Structure 1
């Protein structure tokens, strides 16, 4: 007797949330749509297991069809649209926000995309290929914006990437000392945001930090941990930057939906 590999499928409530975005993203004169719920479950299965597309169980449909639909939705900006809608919904307070970054190892088969490795957010080191994920989260520890750069990139660049979007502004921003530059502080203060960032040990001029509030920065660390439960995020297998970032957004969306349903 064969055992189904299709577990952790969407609930009816989760599918109802995604369906309205998928229907809005459809081309008006395209072919008759596939079973989009099954296709989306197949994409979620790939994200969770980290398996190659060719290993997608047949119960989700033909792997090449699921992959092509994933690329269509990715290039159409579907995942970003869903994330924007969640951030703008006001369902979760965003007065307190946190930013941080983490480096993930890239599988050797991820190399070889067109336009070169730097443009696809690969960094080279003695440890191999790496990609850095920059993340901005709200006070509930849910992702608001993510971006990727080569693994050796400074956090200062990541700050500009995740804080430059038109998202709800925080009243307080928590970050570790990797973001403790004068430029970051001045940028936040100009936006009427209070930066809670420890000073680097080399800085002579010290700025006091509210340690009680700063302890809540662990929410962004916990968010990274939840994102990396998706093996397609914990290790980079994708050749293109947009596909890898799509899996980060997909996993982020599922965290949001499950949080809102509890």
Structure 2
């Protein structure tokens, strides 16, 4: 038997959301708990879908169900419900990004033209539209992350590896999320537009200034030290090998694995 399977308590949490997503042909589901455990196994091990152990069922059926749930927005629904639950304080939030390397067969011809010094073969259309880009000579994807005071993910988005943190800020600071009182970020988010956006939302930005900035703004260093929560969250997310390295051709599938891993962090935190 595979290890790290869902507990009854964890399955009870997921089941109520899964029941709201009907199969397109109206057929009764076979064993969604087993399918979900199979998806978790792929996320944790980073293995190819075809290597899924037989105990989880036919690999192609598990893959199709994963894609069906992902495209139906199931993981987004669960993340929204967790954020709206009020189970964790949201007055303090942190934002950051990290890059993950794409597995070498992923980028297609269009991306190889952007990075002619790198060779790869595989999926055509591996363009920035799919969250793949050329950064420092490697094909990478950037994960943008917003976490709460407990260090739990609130919103994750992906872009091409060369994308700036400024663009990621606008993507994860969604209007449907609880508004923080204080937002912690590193020097990558030093921009007048970000400070103006926070002022409009009545949020205190705690962001160290670059030495090149003429106008200086003081930073509460004791408060800023709490930003390590977002770094620790990235470390936990990357324990899932399907997140630490990008094996998925489409942006939807890769972001789906990031969200799945985020949800499991929430569930395990709430159960302790």
Question: What TM-score, normalized by structure 1, do the two folds share?
Answer: 0.96
Q: Which of 185, 197, 208 matches 2:195? A: 185
1:204 is matched with 214
The runs of 5 or more residues in structure 1 that have no matched partner are none
Q: Partner of 1:92: helix, strand, or coil?
A: coil
1:64 is matched with 60
Q: Partner of 1:8: helix, strand, or coil?
A: coil
Q: Which of 14, 18, 23 matches 2:19? A: 23
2:157 is matched with 147
The 5-angstrom pairing of residues 157-172 of structure 1 reads 157-172=167-182
Q: Which of 92, 95, 98 matches 2:94? A: 98
1:84 and 2:63 are equivalent in the alignment: no
Alpha-carbon distance, 1:243 to partner: 0.2
Q: Which of 129, 132, 139 matches 2:139? A: 129
1:237 is matched with 247
State the Cα deviation string for residues 81-113 of structure 1 (Å, max 9, x = none): 000000000000000000000000000122344
Closer/same/farther in 2, CA of residues 151 and 68 from structure 1, 3 Å limit:
same
1:40 and 2:36 are equivalent in the alignment: yes
Alpha-carbon distance, 1:28 to partner: 7.6
Aligned residue pairs total: 258
State the Cα deviation string for residues 10-33 of structure 1 (Å, max 9, x = none): 000000000000001114851121
2:105 is matched with 109
Q: Take 2:25 and 2:137, find their aligned partners in 1: how far apart are those partners?
A: 48
Q: Is the 8 A contact 2:132 2:159 kept in 1?
A: yes
Q: Take 2:107 and 2:53, find their aligned partners in 1: how far apart are those partners?
A: 25
Question: What TM-score, normalized by structure 2, do the two folds share?
Answer: 0.93
State the Cα deviation string for residues 26-57 of structure 1 (Å, max 9, x = none): 14851121200000000000000000000000
The range that moved more, 229-238 or 162-171, is 162-171
Q: Take 2:211 and 2:248, find their aligned partners in 1: how far apart are those partners?
A: 38
Q: Partner of 2:236: helix, strand, or coil?
A: helix
Aligned-residue RMSD, C-alpha: 1.1
Q: Which of 141, 148, 157 matches 1:138? A: 148
1:52 is matched with 48
Q: Partner of 1:239: helix, strand, or coil?
A: coil
Q: Partner of 2:105: helix, strand, or coil?
A: helix
Q: Take 2:150 and 2:136, find their aligned partners in 1: how far apart are those partners?
A: 37
